[in-house]
C-alpha cells in the first residue's frame, strides 16, 4: 500500500522520500519501482517534506511515531504527520500524543480499499480526521490523485470508521477460512461449495476472491484484528470474536501460505486450495495460537 500510494504521488509530480535502512529487499525494490527516493536517514527524509504518511502493519504504528518523534524534533518546519495505519482509535490517539509532544501537527487516518494500480482511475478511499486546518491542508492531496475524505470528529474518528469497516470485510474472510477449512477437514467441502453456490451466491463469489487475496497478507491482518478487538472492547463489546479471527490469520501465516508474496504467487490461488492448506496444517497438529488443547 505504501509504495503504491507513493507511486501515485510521484506520477503526479511530487518528490516522495523514505528511509529504507534495515528494510527488506522486497520493500527496497517496491520503493525503487515506485520512484520513491531513499534518503537513508529519518531527518533527511522528512526535513523538506510537507506531509509524512505512515503506512505500516498496525502493530508498528506507535513504534514509528516514537521513532520519528526525534526526527520531527530536529527539523524547524514540522511536516503534517498523517497516521494511515489500521489501528484502534485509542492507538491513534496514542500516536498523536507522541507527535504532539514534539510540536508536530497530526491527523488520524484510515485506508479503505486495495492499493492504487497504474492505469486505473479508482484507488482506495483515504479517510482523515483531526484539527480542521490540518484536515483542510491534507485534502490538498486530492490534486495529486489520492481520494482523501474527511470524517467529522477529532483524532480517532477515521480509525473508528476503518476498524468498523474491516470488522465486516476481514471478519467475513476469517469466518470463511474457518468454514471452508473445517468442511475440508470433515470431507464435506464439495457439498458445502455446492450449497453456498446455490443459496449464498454473493458470499460464495466473495469468498472465491477474498481467500486467495488474504493468504499473503494474513501476517498483517493479525495485528489488525487485535486492533479491532481493542476498538470494540473500548465501547463495551466483547472482543473475543476478533481475537479469534487474529488466531485464524496467525495460523494461515504459519503455513506455506505465509511465505507467499502478493506479486509472486505460487500456491493458494483458489479458495479451495487455501482451505486445503489450512486443513492440512490442522491435521498435522498445528493449532491456531490461543486454541485450547
The arithmetic mean of pLDDT across residues 242-249, rounded, is 98
The arithmetic mean of pLDDT across residues 232-258, rounded, is 97
Q: Shortest CA distance to 110 belongs to which of 132, 137, 136, 138?
A: 138
* pLDDT score recorded for residue 288: 59
Residue 252 has pLDDT above 60, yes or no: yes
Q: Shortest CA distance to 102 belongs to which of 33, 48, 43, 20?
A: 43
pLDDT averaged over every residue in the chain: 93
* pLDDT score recorded for residue 121: 63
For residue 62, what is its C-alpha cell?
506507535
**Residue pLDDT, tens place only, 109-123:** 999 999 888 766 678
What are the domain boundaries of the chain? Answer: 2-153, 159-283
Residue 18 has pLDDT above 60, yes or no: yes
CB 289 within 8 A of CB 250: yes
Residue 284 has pLDDT above 90, yes or no: no
Residue 285 has pLDDT above 90, yes or no: no
Residue 278 has pLDDT above 80, yes or no: yes
For residue 269, what is its C-alpha cell?
490461488
**Residue pLDDT, tens place only, 168-209:** 999 999 999 999 999 999 999 999 999 999 999 999 999 999
For residue 114, what is its C-alpha cell?
486495495
Taking residue 213's Cβ as centre, other Cβ atoms within 10 Å add up to 16
- Distance, CA of 226 to CA of 213 (rounded, Å): 20
DSSP output for the chain: -HHHHHHHHHHTT---EE--TT--HHHHHHHHHHT-EE-SSHHHHHTT-SEEEE---GGGHHHHHHHHHHHHHH-SSPPEEEE-S---HHHHHHHHHHHHTTT--EEEEEEESPPP-TT-S---EEEEEE-HHHHHHHGGGGGGT-EEEE-SSSTTHHHHHHHHHHHHHHHHHHHHHHHHHHHHHHT-HHHHHHHHHHH-HHHHHHHHHHHHHHGGGHHHHHHHHHHHHHHHHTTT---HHHHHHHHHHHHHHHSGGGG-BTTB--S--SHHHHHHHHHHHHHTT-PPTT---
What is the chain's length? 293
The arithmetic mean of pLDDT across residues 11-19, rounded, is 94
For residue 118, what is its C-alpha cell?
497504474
Instruction: Using a pLDDT cut of 90, give the percent of the chain over it.
Output: 87
**Residue pLDDT, tens place only, 26-73:** 889 999 999 999 998 999 999 989 999 999 999 999 999 999 999 999
For residue 281, what is its C-alpha cell?
496444517
Is CATH 3.20.20.70 correct for 159-283?
A: no
In the block, residue with C-alpha cell 526535513: 47
Q: How far is CA 199 from CA 193, 202, 270, in A?
A: 10, 9, 20
Taking residue 2's Cβ as centre, other Cβ atoms within 10 Å add up to 20
pTM: 0.93
CA-angle at 152, arms to 149 and 157, nearest 5°: 90
CATH number belonging to the domain at 2-153, selected among 3.20.20.210, 3.30.70.3270, 1.20.1530.20, 3.40.50.720: 3.40.50.720
- Strands 106-112 and 125-130, bridge-based pairing: antiparallel
Amino acid at each position: 500500500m505504501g509504495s503504491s500510494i507513493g507511486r501515485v504521488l510521484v506520477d503526479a509530480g511530487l518528490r516522495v522520500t523514505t528511509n529504507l535502512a534495515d528494510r527488506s529487499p522486497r520493500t527496497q525494490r517496491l520503493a525503487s519501482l515506485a520512484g520513491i527516493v531513499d534518503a537513508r536517514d529519518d531527518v533527511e527524509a522528512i526535513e523538506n517534506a510537507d506531509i509524512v504518511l505512515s503506512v505500516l502493519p498496525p502493530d508498528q504504528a506507535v513504534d514509528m511515531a516514537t521513532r520519528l518523534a526525534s526526527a520531527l524534533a530536529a527539523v524547524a518546519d514540522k511536516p503534517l504527520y498523517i497516521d494511515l495505519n489500521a489501528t484502534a482509535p485509542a492507538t491513534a490517539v496514542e500516536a498523536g500524543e507522541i507527535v504532539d509532544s514534539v510540536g508536530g501537527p497530526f491527523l488520524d487516518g484510515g485506508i479503505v480499499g486495495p492499493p492504487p494500480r497504474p492505469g486505473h482511475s479508482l484507488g482506495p478511499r483515504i479517510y482523515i480526521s483531526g484539527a480542521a486546518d490540518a484536515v483542510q491542508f491534507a485534502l490538498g492531496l486530492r490534486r495529486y490523485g489520492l481520494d482523501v475524505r474527511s470524517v467529522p470528529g477529532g483524532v480517532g474518528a477515521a480509525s473508528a470508521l476503518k476498524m468498523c469497516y474491516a470488522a465486516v470485510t476481514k471478519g467475513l474472510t476469517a469466518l470463511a477460512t474457518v468454514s471452508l477449512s473445517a468442511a475440508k477437514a470433515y470431507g464435506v467441502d464439495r457439498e458445502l461449495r455446492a450449497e453456498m453456490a446455490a443459496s449464498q451466491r454473493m458470499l460464495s463469489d466473495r469468498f472465491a476472491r477474498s481467500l486467495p487475496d488474504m493468504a499473503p497478507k494474513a501476517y498483517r491482518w493479525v495485528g489488525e484484528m487485535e486492533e479491532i478487538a481493542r476498538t470494540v472492547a473500548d465501547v463495551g463489546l466483547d472482543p473475543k470474536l476478533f481475537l479469534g479471527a487474529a488466531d485464524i490469520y496467525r495460523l494461515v501465516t504459519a503455513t506455506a501460505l505465509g511465505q507467499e508474496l502478493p506479486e509472486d504467487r505460487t500456491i493458494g490461488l483458489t479458495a479451495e486450495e487455501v482451505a486445503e492448506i489450512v486443513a492440512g496444517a490442522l491435521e498435522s497438529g498445528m493449532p491456531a495460537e490461543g486454541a485450547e488443547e
